[in-house]
Amino acid sequence: MRVALTRPPEKDVRLAERLREAGFEPVSLPVVAYEKLEDGYEALQIALTEPWDWVVLTSPEAARYFLGAWFLVGAPEVRVAAVGESTRDLLESQGLEVAFLPSRAEGRALAAELPGSGRVLWPTSKRAGDELKEGLEARGFSVRRIDVYTLVPRTPSEAERQAAEGAKIVLFGSPSAVLAWTKAGLPKLPAACIGATTARRAEAAGFSPVAYPERPGLSGWVEAVRSLAGRKAV
């Protein structure tokens, strides 16, 4: 069964592998792209010259921008917490040990479980909500959020559209992707979403049926695809 991936291809390499192993045919139809925020990226470099008790990274994309800034300022000693195995693996592949991984791959769990106290640096997307910051501050942490990138809509090429013809399920990794897919005039297929927030946006936009994992992560996301594939409507 053909399924459409909507994130930039480099972000979906592992997801595509897992889907192939599960017997699906993933095709790339990216409807969003990442864009560096130059002011935020410069602010991150300056911030990394200061002492922090924790740097928290909540996505592989945030980790990529963080690593770029970190190397530019001489790779200072930092203590890093990561949300999710993909983010951790990316950081450790570049020689940066991750000191803390929460029990669930979500910001809410990190806010509740991050040990210690003190100053937290959080480089993130402009589109990210403030739940993590608010959760940490409620526990007494001081959090500086720096928006270093954003997600922007992307119009798929005609070749990409043709390659994705016949897809039975679409995978959404963010509410922004749901909006971009809809604006591009693409069909409202059954949707497998990365988490509950994205699923709610997909349902509100008229996608049906919608599935998402209770525990965020690649394995759960693939299982959401499996669950949709098993329904008669697909």
Contact of 102 with 83, CB cutoff 8 Å: yes
Question: In this model, does residue 216 exceed pLDDT 80?
Answer: no
* 8-17, 32-41, 107-116, 220-229: least confident range: 8-17
- By the 10 Å C-beta count (0-12 exposed, 13-18 middle, 19+ buried), 150 is classed as middle
Section 166-179 average pLDDT: 94
With cut-offs at 50, 70 and 90, classify the pLDDT of residue 85.
Answer: confident
Please state, in angstroms and rounded to a whole number, the distance separating the CA atoms of residues 47 and 68: 13
Query: pLDDT tens across 100-140, in order?
Result: 999 988 889 999 999 999 999 999 999 888 999 999 999 99
159 is a domain residue: yes
CATH code (residue 42): 3.40.50.10090
Closest CA to 39 of 149, 143, 145: 149
Q: Could you tell me the pLDDT band of residue 197, with boundaries at 50, 70 and 90?
A: confident
Q: Give the pLDDT score at 164.
A: 87
- pLDDT for the residue 215: 79
Question: Is position 83 within any domain?
Answer: yes
The tally of domains found in the chain comes to: 2
234 pLDDT above the threshold of 60: no
Angle between helices 38-47 and 60-72 (to 10 degrees): 60
Burial 60-83 (b: 16+ CB within 10 A, else e): bbbbbbbbebbeeeeeeebebbbb
Q: Is residue 61 part of a domain?
A: yes
Same domain, 50 and 147: yes
pLDDT digits (tens, 9 = 90+) for 139-170: 999 999 999 999 899 999 899 989 889 999 99
% of the chain exceeding 70 in pLDDT: 99
Is 222 a member of any domain?
yes
**For residue 218, what are the domain limits?**
2-31+154-229
Last residue of a domain, one of 110, 132, 151: 151
Average pLDDT, the chain: 93
Mean per-residue pLDDT, 223-227: 96
Inside any domain, residue 79 = yes
Q: How confident is the model at residue 50 (pLDDT cuts 50, 70, 90)?
A: very high
Residue 234 lies in a domain: no
Q: 103, 123, 151: which is the final residue of a domain?
A: 151
